[in-house]
Amino acid sequence: MDLDLLSAAVAAEGFMPEDEGRALARAALDAPDGPILEVGSYLGKSTLYLAAAARARGGKVVTVDHHRGSEEHQVGWEYHEPGLVDPAVGLIDTLPGFRRTIAAARAEDVVVAVVARAEEFAALWSAPLAFLFLDGSHTDESAQRDLGSWAPHLAVGGILAIHDVFPDPADGGQAPYRIYRQALDTGEFTEIPGQGSLRLLRRDRFAPEDA
């Protein structure tokens, strides 16, 4: 993979531990042919890990984020950063920081950034995905929405990656864990080795009603 992009990913601001980021990149590199798509990019740290794989594959990574921040980024919440608030509108805006991250890493040739709500973009998407990374807002409602709108686009043989999966509530929020369990319980996926809170599931088939 592109070592410069991996180094840039390690140095970038964000919440992806290095061991999980490298595991994410390896899984994307080993996925079958087809598009790589990320739901939830924040300031672009995980995007760079995926970009390192995409460049090695001779492809691109598509990332979709509304860039208004997740619940935990809003005023009064744990991960709020006042510097990310656009004073003109009084709302979080992570897009300028995301663009700086991607440009500084010279990854604009492999990153296709879509500014939209994930479920709205999913309704417009038609190509089968080789790799799907879910790392958006961690409320139950939004996590369920991301899984429900994007998992149907994942091809047989494709990889579903879910971040921040913590079986023990003491370690973190439970919404990603619940969609991870939900995906497994469909019988459509087989778990393959992940890393830390990063879970990786390979799609083996579609349920009969979705075939």
Torsion of CA 7, 13, 16, 22, to 10 degrees: -10
Closest by CA to 9, choosing from 58, 61, 84, is 61
pTM here? 0.89
N- to C-terminal Cα separation, the chain: 35
Give helix then strand counts, H and E, for the chain: 7, 9
Instruction: Please list the pLDDT of the chain residue by residue as tens digits (211 residues).
Output: 889 999 999 999 888 999 999 999 999 999 999 999 999 999 999 999 999 999 999 999 999 998 876 666 555 556 557 677 767 776 778 899 999 999 999 999 999 999 999 999 999 999 999 999 999 888 888 899 999 999 999 999 999 999 999 998 888 778 999 999 999 999 999 999 999 999 999 999 998 764 4
Name all domains of the chain by residue range, CATH numbers in brackets. Answer: 3-210 (3.40.50.150)
Write down the catalytic residue from 66, 67, 73, 138: 138
Residue with tokens 């939004």: 142
Is 138 marked active-site?
yes
